[in-house]
Amino acid sequence: MTAPENFQLFTVKVLPADLQYDVEGDLTLLEAAEMSRVQLPSSCRNGTCRTCICRLVSGEVSYSIDWPGLTPEEKTEGYVLPCVARPTSNVVLDQPEASAF
């Protein structure tokens, strides 16, 4: 059996703990982390509370909502909201509060 044409699999690395997990299909960075037993800070899970904010060291993401709770400056500086961000490449996040559970 072959994977559907639009199937995507990206790898996420989380610094500084050096945790790693995969994101399949259209899962968000947060959803995929939880499925891989990687704990990232979260609360609202809809892009408004900013509990999950962290910096994207490398890679690209897209958002499931039009305007996630980030200022234009934060976006320019590379901050992302993992609860509503989907990777469009392999990514590296800087989230000092991440841990394995």
Residue nearer to ligand FES on the CB measure, 47 or 59? 47
Residue nearer to ligand FES on the CB measure, 63 or 90? 63
Choose one: 10-18, 20-28, 40-48, 86-94; the region binding ligand FES (CB under 6 A): 40-48
Which of 11, 42, 90, 99 is close enough to bind ligand FES by CB under 6 A?
Answer: 42
State the binding string over 44-83 for ligand FES (x if CB under 6 A, else -). xx-xxxxxx----------------x-----------x-x
The span from the CA of 21 to the CA of 5, in Å, is 22
Angle formed at CA 61 by CA 40 and CA 65, multiple of 5 degrees: 85
The span from the CA of 67 to the CA of 93, in Å, is 20
The span from the CA of 29 to the CA of 95, in Å, is 12
6-25: contacts with ligand FES (CB under 6 A)? none
Residues of the shown chain interacting with ligand FES in the complex, contacts defined by CB under 6 A: 42-45, 47-52, 69, 81, 83
